């Protein structure tokens, strides 16, 4: 059974610091991995999608890497800002052999960037 873990559960950093969020998964048979951001009481916003054949994806100050063999992904945020404060979720699309598109989510890292 695929399980997704995110460590740490919460993180507080001063503004301007570079930081790394971690995501690990137990089964390397994944189709892709997606990072989301969730603001309090809101839905999820997709940040980056990495296909299983890729090693990393970049969008602005965000860089996500994927090491499928070790079951790990990291989300790197450069020059953090107070507006980056949110919960960050990773999710893997597990290869089930079918046409379905189920994502399995981690429980998230709550990030607070202090001004």
Partner 1 sequence: DVKVTQSSRYLVKRTGEKVFLECVQDMDHENMFWYRQDPGLGLRLIYFSYDVKMKEKGDIPEGYSVSREKKERFSLILESASTNQTSMYLCASSQTSGRAPLNNEQFFGPGTRLTVL
Q: Which residues contact 65 (CB under 8 A, 6 or more apart)?
A: 50, 55, 56, 73, 74, 76
Nearest-approach distance from CB 11 to partner 1, in angstroms: 17
Nearest-approach distance from CB 33 to partner 1, in angstroms: 11
Nearer residue to partner 1 within complex by CB, 34 or 73: 34
Nearest-approach distance from CB 87 to partner 1, in angstroms: 10
Q: Phi, psi (5° rounding) for residue 7? A: -135, 135
SS3 83: helix
The verdict on 103 binding partner 1 (CB under 8 A) reads: yes
Give the span between the Cα atoms of 37 and 20, in whole angstroms. Answer: 14
Question: Could you tell me the end-to-end alpha-carbon distance of the chain, in angstroms, rounded to an integer?
Answer: 41
The verdict on 37 binding partner 1 (CB under 8 A) reads: no
52-81 binders of partner 1 (CB under 8 A): none
Residues near partner 1 (CB under 8 A): 31-32, 34, 36, 41-46, 49, 51, 89, 91, 93, 99-103, 105-108
């Amino acid at each position: 059974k695929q399980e997704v873990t995110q460590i740490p559960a919460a993180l507080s950093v001063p503004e301007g610091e570079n930081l790394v969020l971690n995501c690990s998964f137990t089964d390397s048979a994944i189709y892709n991995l997606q990072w989301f951001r969730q603001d309090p009481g809101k839905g999820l916003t997709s940040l980056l999608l990495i296909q299983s054949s890729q090693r990393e994806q970049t969008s602005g100050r965000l860089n996500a890497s994927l090491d499928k063999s070790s079951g790990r992904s990291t989300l790197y945020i450069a020059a953090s800002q107070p507006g980056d404060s949110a919960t960050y979720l990773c999710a893997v699309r597990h290869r089930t052999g079918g046409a379905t598109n189920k994502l399995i989510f981690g429980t998230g890292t709550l990030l607070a960037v202090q001004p």
